[in-house]
Chains A and B, each alone.
Chain A
Amino acid sequence: MRIPCPHCGERGNEEFLYRGVAGLARPAANAPDTQWHDYVYLRDNPFGSHRELWQHVHGCRRWLVVTRDTHTHTIADVADVATPAP
Chain B
Amino acid sequence: MTYSFWRVAREALRGNTGWKPAWRDPVPKEHYDVIVVGGGGHGLATAYYLAKLHGITNVAVLEKGWIGSGNAGRNTTIIRSNYLLPGNEVFYEHSMKLWEGLEQDLNFNTMVSQRGVLNIFHSDGERDAAARRGNSMRLHGADGELLDAAQVRAMVPLFDFDNARFPIKGGLLQRRGGTARHDAVVWGYARGADRRGVDIIQNCEVTGIRVEAGRVRGVETTRGYIAAGKVGLACAGNTSRVAALAGLRLPIESHVLQAFVSEAIKPLVHTVVTFGAGHFYISQSDKGGLVFGGDIDGYNSYAQRGSLPIVEDVAEACMALLPCTGRLRVLRSWGGIMDMSMDGSPIIDRTPVDGLYLNAGWCYGGFKATPASGWCFAHTIAHNEAHAIIAAMRLDRFATGAIIDEKGAGAQPNLH
Q: What count of chain A residues pass the 8 Å CB interface test? A: 26
- Please tell me if the beta carbons of B309 and A41 are within 8 angstroms of each other in the complex: no
- Complex Cα spacing A70 to B304, Å: 11
- Please tell me if the beta carbons of A45 and B399 are within 8 angstroms of each other in the complex: no
- Please tell me if the beta carbons of A37 and B240 are within 8 angstroms of each other in the complex: no
User: With contacts A18-B299, A50-B300, A72-B303 known, is A42 near B414, CB below 8 A?
Assistant: no
- Complex Cα spacing A29 to B162, Å: 51
Q: Is the CB of A73 closer than 8 A to any CB of chain B?
A: yes
- Please tell me if the beta carbons of A41 and B303 are within 8 angstroms of each other in the complex: no
Q: Is the CB of B85 closer than 8 A to any CB of chain A?
A: no
Minimum CB distance partner of B411 in chain A: A40
Q: Is the CB of A14 closer than 8 A to any CB of chain B?
A: yes
Name the residue among A21, A43, A72 with the largest chain B CB count within 10 angstroms: A43
Minimum CB distance partner of B244 in chain A: A44
User: With contacts A41-B411, A43-B240 known, is A70 near B302, CB below 8 A?
Assistant: yes
- Please tell me if the beta carbons of B249 and A42 are within 8 angstroms of each other in the complex: yes
- Return the 9 tightest CB-CB contacts between A and B, nearest first: A14-B309, A45-B240, A41-B251, A41-B398, A18-B299, A71-B302, A42-B249, A37-B399, A41-B342
* 24 pairs of residues in contact across A and B, judged by CB atoms under 8 Å: A14-B309, A20-B412, A20-B413, A20-B414, A21-B300, A37-B399, A41-B398, A42-B251, A43-B240, A43-B251, A43-B253, A44-B240, A45-B254, A45-B300, A47-B241, A47-B254, A50-B300, A52-B299, A52-B300, A70-B254, A70-B301, A70-B303, A71-B302, A73-B303
Q: Which residues of A contact B (CB under 8 A)?
A: 1, 12-14, 18, 20-21, 33-34, 37-38, 40-47, 50, 52, 54, 70-73
